[in-house]
Amino acid sequence: MDTPKALTDRYQVTAHLARGGMADVYEGQDTLLNRRVAIKVLHSQFSADEAFVKRFRREAQAAANLSHPNIVGIYDWGQAEGTYFIVMELVEGRSLRDVLKSEGALLPRRATEIASEAAAALSVAHQAGLVHRDVKPGNILLARDGTVKVTDFGIARAWDDSQELTRTGAVIGTATYFSPEQAQGHSADARSDIYSLGVVMYEMLTGRPPFTGDSPMSVAFQHVSTEAPAPTSLNADVGESLDNIVMRAMRKDPAGRYQSAEEMRSDLVGVLRGEEVGAAPVVPVAAAAVAATSPSDSTRVMTATPPPTVPPDEVYRQIEEEPPSQLPFILTAFGLLIALVVLLFILFQAAGGGNSDADLVEVPNVTNLTQETAVARLLADGFEVNIIPETSTEVDAGNVIRTDPGAGFEAERGSTIDVYVSTGSAETQVPPLIGQTLENATALLESAGLTVGTVSERPDAEYAEGVVVEQSPASGNLVGTGTAVNLVVSTGPELVEVPDVVEMTEREATAALQDLGLKVTVTDEYSNEVAEGLVIETDPVAGTEAETGDTILLVVSLGPEPIDTPNLTGLTEEQARALLADLGLELNVSQATAPVVDPNQNGLVVEQFPEVGTTVFPGDVITVTLGEYTPPSTTTTTTLPPEPPPDNGDGQP
């Protein structure tokens, strides 16, 4: 595929992102405003169809009038090199389809947040008179900053044009997410988008869509006739409130659904706030019948006689393009529905209900045309298409070998034409490409007789920049020679900012880091400031840029470090207080003192509690008793002179 280098002087094309049935999507640079953009370029075979181009312009202009954080912005449209293009916001991130494919069912809160933002986007579009008509995971993008972006309003049509859509008999949308009225060919309105969002939400909550089948037809019939089991029957964590929201959005009768996307969003926001949402009342059958029927489509299942030239309806994608082969299979499903209508019509005629001749159309010669061109030609002539792959040594892969009925035969308008498309001369095994550089992968595919399909990019912590990290079909599959193999190439590890997880639990911090693609190791430390089990710090610290796959060290607190009670005996009160303070302990001096006989122990610590060597922790109190010396008492002896002998009166003793 040749990638254009420029579209007008303003837009430079830098990379091919995806290819769909009606358009290619490129990454480009707006040289005037110096910003990266996505550019959707209409395939050349459709640019010659004036009616199709007119609708292409009108849809681009209508979508460009939508401005909301949850809607992919349309910047410009134009004409260059014989075709037309739309310039839009480039959203870097993943589609919800890719998230569901890799993760399965989402946590109920995350699913509710995504659905509420998608509902906000639809509400803005509906208020502007636009119906999306193809709400599905592939059209809901999750930007790297977490913002939800609804894309592909390209098939949205002003409500005033809905009768034109009905007259052409075109069916827009994807069978898995069809509303019942779309599956029956009736006009779609805002409530059809609400139904489809309900289906998307069902898949987010349960990991699977409500209806599956062997063909789009069987899925479409289930949307019309079968009630889906409640999400809680598949995932008990969903809860009654979300059950009620999803089942109300998916009611068969539009009158029983939410009547606006804003009403649905309000209930979703209520659930996020912890409010309960009860079951909606059942709409009476009579009222439902009136509300579900449009004036011009009250009995029609699908129009069996579209006008001679019906422009192919393209599902414009931003980045997540559907593979080209899906359109024929969807048309096949509805071709079978048309065949059913035709059969009923024939039975009616046989019973005398009419005598008009069948509307016969000559099958055109589409041999050797590409599958896309052949399908467009047959659809324009009023046929439905069933694609049948077949090996061929004479017809290039991707081109038509033959049709059944063959060219020149007459067939009823609306009947199905089997189109045999060449897969090349033989089957070959898809080689393993993961871990190869893009250059090596291309060489391996070419040597196997295969081609490189779409090449997209995504960050990857395991593989270096420029290395293939995903391929489809997977290695080992047998495919026809010439088959395109889609590749996803690593842009290397993504730079993320280390979050602040200080004082989170180890489990909470680990989850926060792993959600960003970071690895975690843990070490323990004592801390007097941070409680046991909480994070003290990280290495590298919060705010540092790291690559996905890098390892972050979590330092988790063991709580305060235990201390052996020191020996305070013989210290003064001041010395004991200072020593304990250094250890984070407190001193309590007992009011009572202990007598000491050594005057040198007076005022010193002679007793302590707890005892020396006892384990204590910072902040604990150590009680001490100080010694008190009391000197011994002293007695003074006085010696008196002897008393004289008694006097006998003669002066002699």
**Is the distance from CB of 154 to CB of 314 less than 8 angstroms?**
yes
The CB-side HSE value for 48 (13 A sphere, CA atoms) comes to 5
Q: 556: which strand partners? A: 524, 535
* Those residues with Cβ within 8 angstroms of residue 591's Cβ, 6 or more apart along the chain or in another chain: none
In angstroms, the Cα distances linking 92 to 27, 251, 413, 498 are 11, 34, 44, 20
**Is the distance from CB of 228 to CB of 198 less than 8 angstroms?**
no
Distance, CA of 386 to CA of 384 (rounded, Å): 7
Identify the three-state secondary structure at position 548: coil
Distance, CA of 24 to CA of 46 (rounded, Å): 12
Q: Annotated active-site positions, please?
A: 134
**Is the distance from CB of 433 to CB of 463 less than 8 angstroms?**
no
Q: 89: which strand partners? A: 37
**Inter-axis angle of helices 190-206 and 108-127, nearest 10:** 170
**Is the distance from CB of 565 to CB of 622 less than 8 angstroms?**
yes
DSSP 162-229: HHHHHHHT---S-GGG--HHHHTTPPP-HHHHHHHHHHHHHHHHHSS-S---SSHHHHHHHHHH-PPP
**Is the distance from CB of 489 to CB of 468 less than 8 angstroms?**
yes
Distance, CA of 234 to CA of 247 (rounded, Å): 14
Name the helix (H) or strand (E) containing 399. Answer: none
